[in-house]
């Protein structure tokens, strides 16, 4: 006959089970059971004028008074802004906070999430991480002469006309030619194709809302603006020029060739092949052919690479050059460094390899400091895919969540008591290059979705700056520039009159 008497001594003794969970995880567990007592972050009314004209002061004040998590309405949308203490959760939580959803919403590209199972961002990431970065040395060797050629032309043109130069146009054009060379090959570089690439980069910037803050109509009637803008661009530049002119070349390269699929390729990284052929190997079927659907998809991916690499890198290159011109005391050390790293060639010319650029530590430090302090406010973002605990609050599903970048980039806890002070050579001995991201510095994002192309982007910024400094001394009229869009410093270049005073003797 069974009895519980054998277990009585055990039952009389206290016992416990230790489960270690963080406060945030505990809230996640409780969330389904406490829907009636959920507290959403406070909604703070910030005047539109303050949001668009002095966002640093407006958002930081609102977070200080109502934070560390607040909701703010902007351009007809409720967004949630995080203080520095919760930024790390934004980047670490891929389950509740989606990079793809957030970027697609911000860039007015939500339709791409419904195409090919939402693989757009993953395919772009794979293209850059596997098709470009492993070949960065060969890519640098091919495109450095392009930057040198355009720098020489810009300095000579400025000398002949005696006027200020359009540095954004210079950076935009140089990077466009470089990317066309890398993606499709030198045989496709001509004035017509370059014009299409540059116009597409500019139009996509408009289509995705990068310049939306500058238009009262676009800020006040965002949906109407999107419809009008998209209609103009899709049935204009996109279809008429890109798909009808460059499209046939992409079609021929992918449909008229056979490729060894990456899964069976012994040579995954061919330094001489254009990126388009890497796409061919990436999408090749077992018989080596690329389907019609994958060919059209590849054309779309090329388009996204053009925008991301040309526009964004050109904007930051302008920031770097304007800051150099506004802080001329940094220039001699960078020019001395250039003379130490440049590689003389047998034909009497000079060359900068990727290894040379990595050794440009003074310029690298300067670039990192520019990107840290140029005034980013709302840059990287995520979107909640379900109700998400954040501190003492729960952020509802389907909303953008954005960290206040300036609170991390200028934090004394992260960067010391002089965090607000611009020190261009702060990072020379710190072993923290411009491409290294952290919760204290995330202009390229952080963790899984950190920009995979930042290695090439910083290399291009260095080539743009060094080729100019090898030929001329940049001078900014009045020693200052104007911030055109304080809310979108990340993607909109500053304005100013930049003059290039030719050196008596070119350095390279």
Binding residues for heme: 451
Pair 298, 276: CB distance under 8 Å: yes
Radius of gyration of the chain, Cα coordinates, nearest whole angstrom: 26
- The whole-angstrom distance between residue 53's C-alpha and the CA centroid of its chain comes to 23
Pair 91, 439: CB distance under 8 Å: yes
Q: How far apart are CA 352 and CA 343, in angstroms?
A: 6
Which residues is 501 bridged to in the sheet?
473
Q: How far apart are CA 175 and CA 146, in angstroms?
A: 9
Q: How far apart are CA 327 and CA 347, in angstroms?
A: 35
Q: How far apart are CA 367 and CA 426, in angstroms?
A: 11
Residues in the chain: 508
Per DSSP bridges, beta strands 400-403 and 77-82 are parallel
Q: How far apart are CA 350 and CA 254, in angstroms?
A: 36
Binding residues: 451
CA atoms within 13 A on the CB side of 308: 20
Tell me the H-state helices in 234-311: 247-255, 275-283, 292-306
């Amino acid at each position: 006959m069974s009895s519980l008497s054998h277990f009585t001594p055990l039952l009389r003794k206290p016992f416990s089970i230790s489960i270690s969970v963080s406060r945030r995880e505990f809230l996640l567990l409780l969330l389904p059971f406490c829907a009636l007592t959920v507290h959403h972050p406070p909604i703070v009314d910030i005047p539109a004028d303050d949001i668009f004209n002095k966002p640093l002061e407006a958002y930081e004040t609102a977070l200080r008074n109502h934070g560390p998590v607040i909701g703010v309405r902007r351009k007809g949308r409720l967004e949630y802004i995080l203080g520095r203490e919760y930024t790390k959760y934004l980047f670490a939580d891929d389950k509740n906070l989606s990079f793809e959803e957030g970027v697609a919403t911000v860039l007015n590209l939500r339709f791409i999430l419904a195409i090919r199972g939402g693989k757009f961002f993953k395919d772009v990431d794979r293209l850059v991480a596997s098709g470009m970065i492993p070949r960065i040395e060969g890519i640098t060797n091919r495109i450095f002469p392009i930057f040198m050629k355009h720098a020489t032309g810009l300095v000579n043109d400025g000398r002949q006309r005696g006027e200020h130069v359009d540095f954004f146009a210079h950076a935009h054009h140089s990077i466009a030619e470089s990317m066309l060379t890398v993606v499709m090959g030198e045989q496709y570089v001509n004035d017509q194709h370059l014009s299409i690439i540059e116009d597409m980069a500019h139009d996509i910037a408009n289509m995705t809302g990068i310049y939306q803050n500058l238009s009262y109509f676009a800020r006040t009637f965002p949906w109407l603006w999107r419809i009008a803008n998209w209609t103009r661009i899709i049935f204009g530049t996109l279809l008429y020029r890109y798909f009808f002119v460059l499209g046939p070349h992409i079609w021929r390269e992918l449909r008229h060739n056979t490729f060894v699929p990456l899964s069976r390729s012994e040579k995954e990284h061919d330094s001489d092949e254009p990126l388009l052929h890497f796409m061919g190997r990436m999408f090749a079927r077992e018989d080596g052919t690329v389907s019609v659907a994958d060919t059209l998809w590849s054309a779309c991916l090329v388009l996204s690479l053009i925008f991301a690499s040309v526009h964004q890198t050109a904007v930051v290159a302008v920031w770097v050059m304007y800051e150099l011109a506004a802080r001329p005391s940094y220039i001699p050390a960078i020019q001395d460094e250039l003379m130490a790293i440049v590689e003389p060639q047998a034909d009497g010319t000079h060359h900068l390899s990727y290894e040379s650029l990595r050794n440009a530590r003074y310029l690298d430090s300067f670039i990192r400091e520019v990107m840290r302090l140029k005034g980013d406010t709302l840059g990287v973002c995520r979107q909640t895919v379900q109700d998400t605990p954040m501190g003492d609050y729960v952020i509802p599903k389907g909303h953008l969540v954005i960290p206040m970048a300036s609170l991390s980039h200028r934090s004394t806890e992260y960067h010391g008591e002089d965090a607000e002070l611009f020190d261009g050579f702060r990072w020379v001995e710190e072993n923290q290059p411009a491409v290294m991201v952290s919760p204290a510095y995330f202009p390229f994002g952080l963790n899984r979705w950190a920009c995979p192309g930042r290695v090439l982007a910083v290399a291009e910024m260095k080539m743009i700056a060094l080729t100019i400094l090898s030929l001329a001394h940049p001078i900014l009229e009045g020693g200052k520039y104007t911030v055109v869009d304080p809310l979108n410093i990340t993607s909109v270049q500053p304005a100013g009159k930049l003059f290039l005073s030719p050196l008596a003797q070119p350095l390279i």
